[in-house]
Amino acid sequence: MVKLSKRLLTIANIVPEGARLADIGSDHALLPTYLVQQGRVPFAVAGEVNKGPKEAAERQVRDAGLTGRIEVRLGNGLAVLQPGEIDAVSIAGMGGALIASILDAGQEKLQSVQTLILQPNVGEDLVRRWLRQHGWHLAAETILEEDGKIYEVLTAVRMEAEHRSDVPLYAERTVEETTLRLTEETLLRMGPYLIREPKDAWFRKWEYELDKLDMIRKQLERSTSESADDKRAELEVEKNRIREVLTCLRKDRP
């Protein structure tokens, strides 16, 4: 029986029971193998863009005795799929820009898909923006920490009648009992669900982000160009926005 990391197990628990899953960039087909072994999904496709990872995934599937129930395919993103054969897609461990580009390039392969489970390593806001612009409702967000790294898992479903628009999800609002005004941009960047009930891992993520912005600012201080001055000013605005959110939400915690 395959054992999953905390990150992959979090994703596995989100996959709808009985779904036909495509796991893009499958990392030894660990997630599909686990889900089929558990009886959670009847069939899965493991997609890999390079020959070496594809062969490793094939060995995993063969050793687990799941040939025929998991198909390992070589191809770029959703190009490995046939229209109509999959209900759910998972894409994990890539940058948000790459995930968005994979989804964008493979839109015709998503016609039968009802659930997207996406775990960007960076650029989560780019994924949220793509979902919002292409008729997908952000249904849930999860944040977790494992081996010193923090991951966000975004779950999206097709925009049905009750979700004609994600406008309410990203509507500007004031946090109760504070003066903090959450803008649409802040919600897209920091997560509309995560910001509603922030966990310790979420606070740590944004403290790390502040540290990164400080490092960039110090590098920019070595330059005297006008563009560097503009960039430093932008960084200060961003840092102040993040600090304000963290400070107010810490006060708001029970």
Q: What is the pLDDT of residues 70-101, one digit of tens each?
A: 999 999 999 999 999 999 999 999 999 999 99
Q: What is the pLDDT of residue 223?
A: 74
Q: What is the pLDDT of residue 163?
A: 56
Poorest-pLDDT segment among 103-107, 222-226, 241-245: 222-226
Q: Is the pLDDT of residue 254 over 70?
A: no
Q: How far apart are CA 62 and CA 73, in angstroms?
A: 14
- pLDDT tens digits along 11-54: 999 999 999 999 999 989 999 999 999 999 999 999 999 999 99
- pLDDT tens digits along 144-183: 999 999 999 999 998 775 556 677 899 999 987 778 899 9
Q: What is the pLDDT of residue 164?
A: 62
For residue 201, report the phi and psi dihedrals to the nearest 5 degrees.
Answer: -60, -35
Q: Is the pLDDT of residue 236 over 80?
A: yes
Range 203-218 average pLDDT: 93
4: pLDDT confidence band, cut at 50, 70 and 90?
very high
Sole residue written with tokens 């779950």: 155
Largest CA distance in the chain: 63
Q: What is the pLDDT of residue 228?
A: 76
Range 180-207 average pLDDT: 95
Instruction: List C-alpha distances in Å: 201 to 150, 175, 195, 213.
Output: 7, 20, 12, 18
Domains of the chain (ranges; CATH) run: 6-163 (3.40.50.150), 173-252 (1.10.287)
Q: What is the pLDDT of residue 225?
A: 77
**C-beta atoms surrounding 253 within 10 Å:** 9
pTM value is: 0.93
